[in-house]
Amino acid sequence: NIWHHHHNGVKVRVAHYVFIQDYGFLKKIVFHLRNVSFQEPLWNQTLGHCAVVGNGGILNNSRCGQQIDKVDFVIRLNLPPLNNENDVGKKTSLVTANPTILRRSASGFSFLSYTRKSFAKMMEVYGQAVVLMPAFSYVSCTEPSFRAYFTLKDFNLQNVTFFHPEYLLRLNNYWKSKGLLAQRLSSGMMLVSIALELCSKVTLYGFWPFSSSLNGKPILHHYYDNVGPKQGVHKMSEEFLLYMQMHSKGLLQLKIGMCS
């Protein structure tokens, strides 16, 4: 299903790449879209030195926080906790929010139907960062993305921006042409790709898909928990190999281990 919206004379195409059978749900989406402000691209100039901060357990005891906070633009993934400032820093310019996290009742937000205040309180740590969400990637992503959008708008917090689904489709096809045959790209690969497009220099922190450090010491999957990715969806090791190849070519800097 494709929805066309005319805003100030500009036609914007929004598509779901998953078939929508529930017409009532589609009408609700169209109603919400009428209240969304369509803006020009967020950044029309190079962003300078960007840090893309993954959530790998390799960040624990890394002392990279100060180094991360010194760059021009800091990108973080999937609303990570920032209570370990010495290792992960605090500065956030852009953060992704995975709608599946918001949809889980265990997260405490329960689709943001009745817990808007607790969600807004949690989001205060990210300051005025842009929140980036894949609202139109799958039907299941749309409703929680809009709930997040209106909650943050009503509480005068961050601006929410949605991935254009065609951009994600083309990005997926690009990496497939390079041999990355994942069911779908990880959030990390998406944001590294964006950083390479927008930034003059890119440094990666916290990207380490292995269960032990360089010296063989066991580490958590994330710096804040030990919950691994869903099996068969992402190709984390293959993505990491691509990061290493880009590092060797000087396209980005892959930071592993402690920061000086």
Q: Is 23 exposed, middle or buried (0-12, 13-18, 19+ CB in 10 A)?
A: exposed
State the Cα–Cα distance between residues 189 and 193, nearest whole angstrom: 6
Query: Do residues 168 and 190 lie in contact, with contact meaning Cβ atoms separated by under 8 Å?
Result: yes
The answer to whether 84 and 60 are in contact (CB under 8 A) is yes
Helix 236-248 with 187-198: angle, nearest 10 deg: 20
Given the residues 16, 221, 222, 234, select the one marked as catalytic. 234
Torsion sign, CA atoms 210, 77, 52, 139: positive
Tokens at 163, concatenated? 């991935």
Distance of CA 4 to the CA centre of its chain: 26
- Going by their DSSP bridges, the two strands 73-76 and 49-53 should be labelled as parallel
222 is catalytic: no
CA angle (164 as vertex; 160, 165 as ends), nearest 5:
125
DSSP 8-state secondary structure symbol assigned to residue 37: P
Q: Rounded to whole angstroms, how far apart are CA atoms 141 and 10?
A: 25
Tell me the C-alpha distance between 166 and 161, whole Å.
15
Catalytic residues: 234
